[in-house]
Amino acid sequence: MTRLKDRVALVFGAGSVGPGWGNGKASAVAYARAGAKVVCVDINRTAADETAQIIAGEGGKAEALVCDVTKLTEVEDVVARTLKAFGPVDILHNNVGHAKMGGPPDLTVEEWHRELDLNVTGMFIACKVVIPSMMERKTGVITNISSSAGIRYVGYPYTSYYAAKGAVNQFTVGVALQYARDGLRCNAILPGLMDTPLIYQQISGVYGSPDEMVKARHEATPMGRMGTGWDIANAAVFLASDEASYINGVCLPVDGGFTAKCA
C-alpha cells in the first residue's frame, strides 16, 4: 500500500510485552505496510528488534531503538537518530502505558507518580521534542493511545490508570487545538477490552485464571468479543492518512461499543 508512502513514523512502545500482537507492535507494522518508514522504539531491546525485523522481513524500512520515554535526553536522542536515519518525523505514535492495580490507600506516592509518568509524562516529552519540527514544516500527525478507562469505569480497581488516561485525553485535545493552525493534527485512540499480551501480565490477576479473564472480557463487550491490536493499528493508519485530514482533537473509542452502553 502507498497510503503513507515515504512518511516517517516514530512509534514509542513498538514492542510487545509477550508473544502475540500488542497495540504498538501491530501499529508499527501497519504503518510500514501502508508505506511508512518506521522507527520502532521500546524500553526492551529484544521487543523493538522483533518488530523492526518483522517489518524488514516484509520488505519495509525500519529502525529499532531503545528508550525510556520518561527521560528527556533519551527521547531527544531517539528523535535525532530518527532524523539521521529517515528524516523528520511525520507521524508520532505514543503507545507507552501501564496499569497498576489499587486505589489511593493501596499505592505509594512513588507508584502514583510512576503511573502518571508512564502514561502521560512520556507523551508530553515526546510531543515537546517532536512538535517544533512539525511546526517548522507545517505538517504532522500525533496519535496518542489512551483507553476506555479515560472516560468510563471499566471494572478494574486502578485509580491511577483512570486518572492518567483521562489526562491523556485532555492533553490530546489541548495539543490539537493549540497547534491546529500550524498544520498539526493530534488525536487519541481509546482501546476497549482488547486481547493483547499486556492483559495477561497486568490484569489477569484480578480473575481466578487467564481463561476466566478472557471469557469475562468477551462477555462484557457488546459485540461478544474483545478487540485485537490490529483494530487499534487500523485506526492509527487511518488517522495518520490524508483521508483523516479534517479529523483533529478526537478521542476515538475503538471498543466494539463498550463505552456506548450504560451498564
- Please pick, among 158, 161, 162, 179, the residue that the annotation labels catalytic: 161
Q: Which helix (H) or strand (E) holds 130?
A: helix 122-137
CA 174-150-70 angle, 5° bins: 65
pTM score: 0.95
Helix (H) or strand (E) holding 212: helix 210-220
Q: Are strands 37-42 and 62-66 parallel, antiparallel or unpaired?
A: parallel
CA distance 67 to 86: 18
* DSSP, res 104: T
Positive/negative CA dihedral, 30, 92, 170, 3:
negative
pLDDT of residue 1: 65
The answer to whether residue 161 is catalytic is yes
The alpha carbons of the chain give a radius of gyration, in whole angstroms, of: 17
Would you state the pLDDT for residue 206?
82
Grid coordinates representing 66 are 531503545
What is the pLDDT at residue 205? 78
* Beta-sheet strand order (sheet of 8-12): 62-66, 37-42, 8-12, 91-94, 140-145, 184-191, 251-254
Q: Which residues contact 10 (CB under 8 A, 6 or more apart)?
A: 38, 39, 41, 78, 79, 82, 89, 91, 92, 93, 126, 130
* pLDDT attached to residue 204: 73
Quick one: which H or E segment has residue 11?
strand 8-12
In the chain, what are the domains? 8-252 (3.40.50.720)
Q: In a structure prediction context, what are the per-residue pLDDT tens digits for the chain, which is 263 residues long?
A: 689 999 999 999 999 988 999 999 999 999 999 999 999 999 999 999 999 999 999 999 999 999 999 999 999 999 999 999 999 999 999 999 999 999 999 999 999 999 999 999 999 999 999 999 999 999 999 999 999 999 999 989 999 999 999 999 999 999 999 999 999 999 999 999 999 998 898 787 788 899 999 999 999 999 999 999 999 999 999 999 999 999 999 999 999 999 998 76
Tell me the C-alpha to C-alpha distance, in Å, between residue 185 and each of 86, 132, 170.
21, 14, 14
